[in-house]
């Protein structure tokens, strides 16, 4: 469970705890048939999925699987905690051989990119590229990352995993590890991949904290974003709400697992932080009682925030959804114990013609144990994601260079 993604991070003026309500007239239920509601807005009915967003009508033709009902695998898929834990421990981990490339950033930090071995020889230079952003403490070794990688590879895509600082045994050269709001590394990775393959269209998929990082990049850097499309899954969106939710009841088990992953990564690189004269609390970073305590001791200091609450508030991707200018598909589970559905910015997604949201009734956090590959194979979302990306690629032209 230590490698299970999660964490929690635009710049609002103050801490926000606003719960995003689901406005009934903005919600779109989807299926093959389209009818007209009394408001005159198109409504797509589906027996189990909730679909909304300003781009829903535009993107629905992409999907061949959404006309089918969402059927969670018996027993496992009926309980959100069981599904989350089962997927983390018992989902198969496909064999993938990587070739690692390390990038040096302007602040002397190091980013590790894991490319699929052989793709640089076997694929044309204009093959579409998919950048994968795992969740908190996650990396190229995680099962959900590898399943998505193989799905895209089977369609002729070139895939690269963007391991955040300190993740997947990547080298650490500065006193900064993975954070939820630092978009400079994402800019660096996208620019590097784009310059390396100038004829290719580039897309990205992010899970959990990786989804939050990705949406923050799309919103904050919309003026220079060279991606052609993106997908966010299990995004916590509002980290203030997610932080409160993570410390409730049974959710403490996830908090314990995540804090363990964070402290183990930090322990490998403690010397970098001990030499600094900042406010780092090294002992609290080595033995945090909660993810929040770790972020207070280490993460917020590395970014210059005065408190962990300021860090969380200024790291919420829900604040920048309105600025996204490329096609964005968001997939959430209504019963996600880690990325609570009430943190999802329904109104901003509905008002943005580039965004679409799919909410499944079950799924847990990074579970989605449903579909033909359940219970041990790829999550239900993989087919939906690749249909969306393939649709965009068929209709895409090479984005202008930033």
Q: In the numeric block, which tokens belong to residue 285? A: 């970073």
31, 140, 208, 232: the active-site residue:
208
Interstrand relation of 202-207 and 129-133 (parallel, antiparallel or unpaired): parallel
Sheet with 98-104: strands ordered across:
27-28, 50-52, 355-360, 328-333, 229-233, 202-207, 129-133, 158-163, 110-116, 98-104
Q: Is 194 a catalytic residue?
A: no
d(CA 324, CA 223): 10
> Are residues 113 and 160 in contact, defined by beta-carbon separation less than 8 angstroms?
yes
Examine residue 343 and say whether the peptide bond preceding it is cis (omega within 30 degrees of 0): no
d(CA 238, CA 332): 13
Burial class (CB in 10 A: 0-12, 13-18, 19+), 291: buried
Candidates 108, 91, 214, 118; CA nearest to 171 is 108
What is residue 273's DSSP assignment?
H
The distance in angstroms from the start CA to the end CA of the chain is 39
d(CA 81, CA 92): 19
Name the β-bridge partners of 160: 115, 131
Q: Is 208 a catalytic residue?
A: yes
Q: Is 336 a catalytic residue?
A: yes
Report the number of secondary-structure helices (H) and strands (E) in the chain.
Answer: 15, 12
d(CA 327, CA 295): 32
d(CA 375, CA 87): 8
Residue 29 CB neighbours (<10 A): 15
255, 336, 348, 373: the active-site residue:
336
46, 147, 323, 365: the active-site residue:
365
d(CA 167, CA 111): 9
Catalytic residue ranges: 208, 336, 365
């Amino acid at each position: 469970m230590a490698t299970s993604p999660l964490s929690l991070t635009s710049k609002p003026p103050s801490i926000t705890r606003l719960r995003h309500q689901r406005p009934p007239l903005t919600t779109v239920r989807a299926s093959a048939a389209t009818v007209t509601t009394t408001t005159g807005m198109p409504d797509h009915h589906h027996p189990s999925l909730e679909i909304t967003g300003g781009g829903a009508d535009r993107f629905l033709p992409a999907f061949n699987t959404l006309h089918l009902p969402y059927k969670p695998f018996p027993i496992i898929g009926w309980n959100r905690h069981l599904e989350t834990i089962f997927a983390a421990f018992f989902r198969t981990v496909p064999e993938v051989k990587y070739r690692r490339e390390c990038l040096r950033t302007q602040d002397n930090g190091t980013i590790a990119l894991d490319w699929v071995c052989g793709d640089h020889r076997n694929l044309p230079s204009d093959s579409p590229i998919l950048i994968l952003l795992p969740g908190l403490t996650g990396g190229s070794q995680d099962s959900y990352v590898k399943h998505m990688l193989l799905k895209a590879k089977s369609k002729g895509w070139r895939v690269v995993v963007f391991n955040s600082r300190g993740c997947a045994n990547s080298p650490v050269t500065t006193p900064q590890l993975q954070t939820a709001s630092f978009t400079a590394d994402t800019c660096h990775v996208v620019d590097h991949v784009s310059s390396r393959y100038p004829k290719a269209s580039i897309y990205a998929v992010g899970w959990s904290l990786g989804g939050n990082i990705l949406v923050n990049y799309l919103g904050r850097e919309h003026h220079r974003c060279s991606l052609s499309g993106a997908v966010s899954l299990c995004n916590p969106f509002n980290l203030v709400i997610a932080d409160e939710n993570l410390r409730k009841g049974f959710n403490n088990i996830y908090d314990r697992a995540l804090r363990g992953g964070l402290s183990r990564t930090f322990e490998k690189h403690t010397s970098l932080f001990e030499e600094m004269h900042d406010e780092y609390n090294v002992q609290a970073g080595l033995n945090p009682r909660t993810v929040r305590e770790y972020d207070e001791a280490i993460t917020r200091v590395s970014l210059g925030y005065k408190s962990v609450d300021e860090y969380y508030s200024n790291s919420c991707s829900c604040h920048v959804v309105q600025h996204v200018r490329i096609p964005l598909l968001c997939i959430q589970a209504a019963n996600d114990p880690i990325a609570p559905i009430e943190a999802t910015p329904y109104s901003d997604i509905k008002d943005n013609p580039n965004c679409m949201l799919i909410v499944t009734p079950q799924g847990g956090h990074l579970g989605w144990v449903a579909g033909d590959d359940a219970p041990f194979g790829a999550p239900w979302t993989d087919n939906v994601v690749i249909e969306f990306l393939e649709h965009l690629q068929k209709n895409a032209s090479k984005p202008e260079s930033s």
